[in-house]
Chains A and B, each alone.
Chain A
Amino acid sequence: MSLYPSFARPRTLADAATLLASLASGGVVIAGGQELMPSINQGVLAPEVYVDIGGLAELRGITETPEGRVGIGALTVHRELQTDPRVRAQLPLLAHAATRAGGGRQVHNRGTIGGNLVAQHPLYDIAPPLLALEAEVEWVKGRETVRQPLAAMLADSRHGLGSEAILTRVLVVPMADGLGWAYEKLKASGGAYGSANAAALVKLKEGRVAAVRLVVGAVADRLIDASEAAAALLVGRRFDAEAGAALAGAVSALVAAPLSDAQGPGPWRQAMAGVVAQRALAAAVARAGRG
């Protein structure tokens, strides 16, 4: 905690990683500031050192990797996710979910994908679609570069704010043609945050579910990957009302400890997990049917 924090703006990723490793504690990585500044302004957080990674060219850009993934630099802002032609064409689920993020244009213009993920905030809108897409993330820590599934990162609270590691890239396999997708965000009110969110991907074969990915957010401390439960219920079936109801029940049952906060009380959140799952899947199926 410091009234007079210090500040560094390293020029290269290597410099940044070295600096962070050298700071015993109290170093906080900052870029767009959308996640950190509210807490700093409210006096909840008072870092000793800011390490501004906003100048690192290595963290910018949306590219195709040699192995055919979409590589999204950690400094990519929501606005770019919404408008970038590659993301729109190859990862429409992500492009759409980025439009549903709260805070309005102002925040979409500055909030980065890296900041959003590192926040590990259960109410945010970028992690559920990426998890549904089985994205991977790339880290630099000291001299090490680590690549791991997003799921692993999200399960590990040491990767949150204040971590020594720098999230550099998100890697996603492009969505296959004909894949149905949907992002369903249920808001209790006109604010920024959802009370339950669901990202769904569906492959259909002759009108029946052939494969499904389903992630539910904003209902518990961590995202819930309901893909297995969904697959067990749905693969080989038509997604009709009965299947939807069964899915809703199964997803709600996965919510062991629902959040209870300004977005709504626990029992309702638990029930809503099922509702958004059902709706997301229905929309994804409809889209797959059209495509």
Chain B
Amino acid sequence: MADRDPGMSAAPATGGYVGRAVRTLEGRAPIAGAARYSSDFSFPGQLHAAIVRSPHARARILKVDLSGARKVAGVVLAMDGREVAAHLGPIPHYIDPATFGGKSAEVRTMAVDHVWCYGQPVAVVVAADRRTARWAASRVQVAYEVEPAVLTVEDAIAPDAPKVVPGFDDNVIMAVPFRNGDPDAAFARADHVVTTTVRIHRFSTQPIETRCYNAVWEEETESLTLYGTAQNPHPLRHVLAKVLGMPEGRIRVHAPAIGGAFGMKMHGHPEESLVCLLAKLLRRPVKWVESREECLLIGAREQVHHLELALSKEGDLLALRDRFFANTGAPSACPGWGMAFLTGLTMPGPYRVRDIDVTMTALVTNKPSWNAARGYGKEATALALELALDEAARRLGFDPAELRIRNFVPADAFPYASPTGLQYDSGDYAGAVRKAMAAIGWDEWRARQAEGPREGRYLGLGIAYELTPEGGALPGTMVAGYDSSTVRVAPDGSVRVLTGVTTPGTGNPTGIAQIVADELGCPIEWISVVQGDTTTCPYGFGNYSGRSTIVGGGSAALAARAVRAQMEAVAAAMLGVGVQALRLSDGVFDGGDGRSLAFADVAWAAYTRAYDVASCITPPLEAQATFRPPNIRHSPDAEGRINPYPSYSNAAYATVVEVDSATGQVKLLAFAAAHDCGRVINPLLVEGQACGAIAFGLGGALMEEIRFDAGGHQLTRSFMDYVMPRAEDMPGVTLVHHDSPNPDTYMGLKGAGEAGVGGSAAAVVNAVNDALRPFGVAIHDLPLSPARVWAAIHGRSGAAGGAA
């Protein structure tokens, strides 16, 4: 903890932007239709790429015939996977399973000889316009020899299963035990053991903006610029350099405004390096815009959990066992598979049980690959635990809230070392549950529920907790825990902040500007925040894991303090007073003796009077700083465990549903959350994040699903099939804060970006199962489509539908 900054958790003395509902600085542009997203960029000579994808889940490629495409007027290039592989190396893994003791598959940009999932790129066509490119792509003839596909977890672990990755001895990319204490003994002495199998389906983040990459070759400098939907511009540059065999210094990645990301725009996607290659070969700009059908290929979250809870008759959770399997699809360089690891690492969530026996098995199958999805596996932890706890409460006759409160890590136990080695910073889980229940009016709903069955109405109340480690750092990967910012004050007093973190559109630039405005004592309107460009911004790791405000804001605050010190020195010299006498607020330095100086005058002096009042500083007014959260621990403890997270936001979710027993439809009547994301910089931003995540959870619990037929062909190809919540589906959300500041971050921040998906989904499932109690059934297979709920009520197990 040597680099702990003693001042980090203290708020600055002046200002007053932090904590206020400031509308976003960057929010005007999209409302005016002026925001520029990746696909809005076009360059002289622009060409367009279209990709030919495999219609089979697993097949040998016998022949790729490009002649039909080459005959189409306007086509400038057509290549198959083998030709592309001659130019491009394997894509480095964002998180290599081998780094953590797993197996690493070589991931190529396009299929060579063999296809391992539906939708895998097989050939590419470049033409003068998008329509021609797509037309020509449909003229490419590929001969396949179809092979039996591995689609489910059960398929993948069968002893005679075909190998998804040629050369692997099985389909496991990583298996990790998370074991602590003596779970076997605890199970032996338990009064009750409750088993639950939870099946989480494949669903996906689906931002409304699909991915887009536009690569521009500059002959003059023999360099490449990639404009694109990238959450992590600098790390992507590194990947492109490796794949293309070019120095990083000759590549620029520019990520303009992003129309939602949620993990999907983290890199490792084949199209990133592919368009760069095409631009380099053709020496012209080449652009690829993902279609929605292509976007729906990117999966996430599919897991099966076999849980056992050991409980005493008083309701103490004595031990947890969970054997779980993740169907991560075909190998990918994207960081999606790592979600499964985090699901295990986050066990047993907010509960104080010490004896645990959890085994994670991440499998590859012939479904399309995963990418990271908001929640990053922690949503699955919450779903599995919270569904199992409710099952225990139902079977043993405990009140679900009481059972949780009894077993939580108590508020006075922080910092708390979890049985998997995590170091929880702070929290008051029981308090949050009580707040959420009060906010929704729990007791009144319970009374109404009791009336319900008499009138043929089935109400259900559900509660769930989610612990969401955020701001993660994994050793040996580009998942870094720290980040950097530069703060510059120009001669006119305007302020520019350049950060290594990026925004997926959630408003973090404004949060950072609020912090800097308070640190510099100037109006927020003077500040502009620049992100997402590898040539102008300090080296940084971009956006993931709810880190942008923690490390972006923290580093910007440190840089701003350094610049403020420069300006105070100059101001003090100008006024002939000591620095201690100065007060800075609203852009005015007050000398304490009736005299004052405008911020801009001090800035001007700092630049122009370097041999006079500014001789006490080194110009320009600029500083770069890094914030490295001190509580991340990568040196393994005696058990080999690390703490990759600095912040543990957490929340309680409560909901009331009504189930229509004739149709199986679930209607959300009320929803409340009590949220602990540490110190709140801007309640508008936090509310937006929380409600957005809740919508993800509700959508995942009730409607969103990516389906396949028995042969592994994806059935979900448009928003007609992939149904996401619309305004009518979302109940009003009552959001209450229950914040416990994080002692280890700037001003007590915790992440707010990821929390909520699993907790809200689990609350809905628990509420539905509560409503189903009169029927004596409970469902642990997601999503809770009306057909599935109806089948449970009417005892029609085969009628629930379901595909691979």
Are A189 and B787 touching (Cβ within 8 A)?
no
- Out of A192, A262, A264, A267, name the residue touching B796 (CB < 8 Å): A267
Are A265 and B799 touching (Cβ within 8 A)?
yes
- Out of A189, A262, A265, name the residue touching B729 (CB < 8 Å): A189
Q: Is B9 an interface residue (CB 8 A)?
A: no
Q: Return A290 CB to nearest CB of chain B, in Å.
A: 22
- Which residues of the other chain, B, contact A192 by a CB distance below 8 angstroms? 720
Of all chain B residues, the one with the shortest Cβ separation from A279 is B662
- The docked-state distance in angstroms from the alpha carbon of A3 to that of B723 is 31
- Which residues of the other chain, B, contact A3 by a CB distance below 8 angstroms? 72, 131-132, 135
Are A275 and B715 touching (Cβ within 8 A)?
no
- Which residues of the other chain, A, contact B138 by a CB distance below 8 angstroms? 43
- Which residues of the other chain, A, contact B786 by a CB distance below 8 angstroms? 188, 195, 264, 268
**Count of chain A residues with Cβ under 8 Å from any Cβ of B?**
23
Q: Return B774 CB to nearest CB of chain A, in Å.
A: 19
Are B663 and A275 touching (Cβ within 8 A)?
yes
Q: Is B640 an interface residue (CB 8 A)?
A: no
Are A268 and B664 touching (Cβ within 8 A)?
yes
- Out of A46, A260, A262, A268, name the residue touching B790 (CB < 8 Å): A268
- The docked-state distance in angstroms from the alpha carbon of A271 to that of B796 is 11
State which residues 221-271 of A face B: CB under 8 Å: 260, 262, 264-268, 271
Are B720 and A265 touching (Cβ within 8 A)?
no
- The docked-state distance in angstroms from the alpha carbon of A3 to that of B127 is 13
Are A190 and B663 touching (Cβ within 8 A)?
no
- Which residues of the other chain, A, contact B728 by a CB distance below 8 angstroms? 190
Q: Is A119 an interface residue (CB 8 A)?
A: no
- Which residues of the other chain, A, contact B791 by a CB distance below 8 angstroms? 267-268
- The docked-state distance in angstroms from the alpha carbon of A275 to that of B793 is 15
Are B723 and A189 touching (Cβ within 8 A)?
yes
Q: Is B222 an interface residue (CB 8 A)?
A: no
Are A189 and B131 touching (Cβ within 8 A)?
no
Are B702 and A265 touching (Cβ within 8 A)?
no
Are B785 and A188 touching (Cβ within 8 A)?
yes
Of all chain A residues, the one with the shortest Cβ separation from B291 is A42
- Which residues of the other chain, A, contact B721 by a CB distance below 8 angstroms? 262
Q: Return B21 CB to nearest CB of chain A, in Å.
A: 29
Are A193 and B662 touching (Cβ within 8 A)?
no
- Which residues of the other chain, B, contact A126 by a CB distance below 8 angstroms? none
Q: Is A186 an interface residue (CB 8 A)?
A: yes
Are B787 and A190 touching (Cβ within 8 A)?
no
Are A191 and B293 touching (Cβ within 8 A)?
no
State which residues 154-198 of A face B: CB under 8 Å: 186, 188-193, 195
Q: Return B317 CB to nearest CB of chain A, in Å.
A: 35
- Which residues of the other chain, A, contact B662 by a CB distance below 8 angstroms? 275
Q: Return B374 CB to nearest CB of chain A, in Å.
A: 19
Q: Is A272 an interface residue (CB 8 A)?
A: yes
- Which residues of the other chain, A, contact B6 by a CB distance below 8 angstroms? none
Are B293 and A272 touching (Cβ within 8 A)?
no
Q: Is B177 an interface residue (CB 8 A)?
A: no
- Out of B132, B726, B787, name the residue touching A268 (CB < 8 Å): B787
Q: Return B104 CB to nearest CB of chain A, in Å.
A: 36
- Which residues of the other chain, B, contact A262 by a CB distance below 8 angstroms? 707, 715-716, 720-721, 723
- The docked-state distance in angstroms from the alpha carbon of A192 to that of B132 is 31
Q: Return A83 CB to nearest CB of chain B, in Å.
A: 21
Decide yes or no: A265 and B787 within 8 Å by CB, A42-B293, A190-B703 being known contacts.
yes
Are A264 and B785 touching (Cβ within 8 A)?
yes
Interface string of A36-49 (1 = CB under 8 A from B): 00100011001000
- Which residues of the other chain, A, contact B716 by a CB distance below 8 angstroms? 262
Are A268 and B729 touching (Cβ within 8 A)?
no
Are A264 and B801 touching (Cβ within 8 A)?
yes
- The docked-state distance in angstroms from the alpha carbon of A141 to that of B238 is 64
Q: Is B99 an interface residue (CB 8 A)?
A: no
Q: Return B611 CB to nearest CB of chain A, in Å.
A: 65
Interface string of B771-788 (1 = CB under 8 A from A): 000000000000001110
What are 23 A-B pairs at a CB distance below 8 A? A3-B72, A3-B131, A42-B291, A43-B135, A186-B663, A186-B665, A188-B665, A188-B723, A188-B785, A188-B787, A189-B703, A189-B723, A190-B703, A190-B728, A190-B729, A193-B720, A262-B716, A264-B801, A265-B799, A268-B664, A268-B791, A271-B790, A271-B794
Across chains A and B, which 5 residue pairs bring their CB atoms closest together, nearest first?
Answer: A265-B801, A267-B799, A190-B729, A189-B703, A268-B787
Contacts A188-B665, A190-B703 known; 19 new A-B pairs at CB < 8 A? A3-B135, A42-B718, A43-B138, A186-B665, A188-B703, A189-B729, A190-B725, A191-B703, A193-B720, A262-B723, A265-B799, A265-B801, A265-B802, A267-B791, A268-B664, A268-B787, A268-B790, A268-B800, A272-B663
* Interface set of B (CB-CB < 8 Å, partner A): 72, 131-132, 134-135, 138, 291, 293, 662-665, 702-703, 707, 715-716, 718-721, 723-726, 728-729, 785-787, 790-791, 794, 796, 798-802
